[in-house]
């Protein structure tokens, strides 16, 4: 954020969290149709860098970079950054099939265009699984067809629900879509697979995965040998006297 007077660590973390939350909410509303998939804030001594991840980076940049400049000016004015103290960049999502936010927006726009709930959800689940995910779950709740609200859950593959691995392996996104009959809630959960490179998922494996190693080569014993473990160790030899 902008340079301010010395504040306590606790206030700084709260201020940074509020800044990120407001920025993320604004970009979610502004870039929803351009495949917005999250934002990352990097603070350097020279300036603050804001990296916007999206599936359609060309739309985020705009014609000759006009739109990204407008967003930069708006963020600078709103959060009172100094001139040239904040910079916005657009980064393309490598695999949008493994991005929960992008898929949640996809379900949202499918429902807004009048596609049936089952068809929209099953299409997204299939696309996510074909992209290399370990598991996927889509939940749509609200007044789907009848007057009474209900929830429909669509899933495929393997999904965990507790422990530290849920933070490492699962990406979640929630969106609300306003239809004629009322508001529907959409929740997409994607479980990533282990990737040693760290691009398509976390490098570490699940804690319950057991890896069986190949046994070591054993040396062939030609002559039987005996070793007495109970015998006392030999006394160390006395050092020879050194002549002056």
pLDDT in tens, 26-80: 888 888 888 888 888 988 888 888 998 888 888 888 888 888 889 889 988 888 8
User: Is the confidence at residue 235, as pLDDT, over 90?
Assistant: no
Residue 91, token pair as written in the block: 């980064």
Residue 198, token pair as written in the block: 């760290």
User: Is the confidence at residue 242, as pLDDT, over 80?
Assistant: no
Neighbours of 125 (CB within 10 A): 23
Query: What percent of the chain stands above pLDDT 90?
Result: 34
Q: Find, among 159, 180, 178, the residue nearest to 170 by Cα.
A: 159
pTM equals 0.74
User: Is the confidence at residue 244, as pLDDT, over 80?
Assistant: no
The conformation of residue 235, written as its DSSP 8-state character, comes to P
Mean pLDDT, rounded, for 218-239: 78
Q: Find, among 137, 136, 134, the residue nearest to 194 by Cα.
A: 134
Mean pLDDT, rounded, for 182-192: 93
pLDDT in tens, 94-129: 888 888 988 998 999 999 998 999 999 999 999 999
Give CA–CA dist 103/210, Å, rounded: 32
User: Is the confidence at residue 233, as pLDDT, over 90?
Assistant: no
What is the pLDDT confidence band of residue 183, given thresholds at 50, 70 and 90?
very high
Output the pLDDT for position 82: 84
Residues 6 or more apart in contact with residue 183 via CB below 8 angstroms? 142, 176, 177
Residue 19, token pair as written in the block: 């800044």
Place of tokens 């889509």: 138
* 60 phi/psi in degrees, rounded to 5: -65, -40
Output the pLDDT for position 95: 85
Handedness of CA 192, 193, 198, 199 (dihedral sign): negative
Residue 129, token pair as written in the block: 């699984």
Output the pLDDT for position 191: 93
User: Is the confidence at residue 2, as pLDDT, over 60?
Assistant: no
150-157, strands of its sheet edge to edge: 150-157, 135-142, 182-191, 170-179
* 196 phi/psi in degrees, rounded to 5: -60, -25
Who has greater pLDDT, 130 or 221?
Answer: 130
Output the pLDDT for position 199: 81
pLDDT in tens, 143-176: 988 889 999 999 999 999 999 999 999 999 999 9
């Amino acid at each position: 954020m902008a340079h301010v007077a010395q504040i306590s660590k606790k206030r700084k973390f709260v201020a940074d969290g509020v800044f990120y939350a407001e920025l993320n909410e604004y970009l979610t509303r502004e870039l929803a149709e351009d495949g917005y998939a999250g934002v990352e804030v990097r603070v350097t001594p020279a300036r603050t860098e804001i990296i916007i991840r999206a599936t359609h980076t060309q739309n985020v940049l705009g014609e000759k970079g006009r739109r990204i400049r407008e967003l930069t000016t708006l963020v600078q004015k709103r959060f009172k950054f100094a001139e040239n103290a904040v910079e916005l960049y657009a980064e393309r999502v490598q695999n949008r099939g493994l991005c929960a936010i992008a898929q949640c927006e996809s379900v949202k726009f499918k429902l807004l265009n009048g596609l049936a709930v089952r068809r929209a959800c099953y299409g997204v689940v299939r696309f996510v699984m074909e992209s290399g995910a370990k598991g996927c779950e889509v939940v749509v709740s609200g007044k789907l067809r009848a007057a009474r609200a209900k929830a429909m859950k669509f899933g495929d593959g393997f999904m965990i629900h507790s422990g530290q691995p849920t933070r490492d392996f699962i990406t979640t996104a929630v969106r609300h879509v306003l239809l004629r009959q009322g508001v529907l809630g959409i929740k997409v959960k994607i479980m990533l697979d282990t990737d040693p490179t760290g691009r398509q998922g976390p490098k570490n494996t699940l804690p319950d995965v057991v890896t069986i190693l190949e046994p070591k080569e054993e040396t062939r014993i030609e002559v039987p040998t005996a070793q007495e473990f109970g015998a006392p160790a030999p006394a160390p030899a006395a050092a020879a006297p050194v002549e002056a």
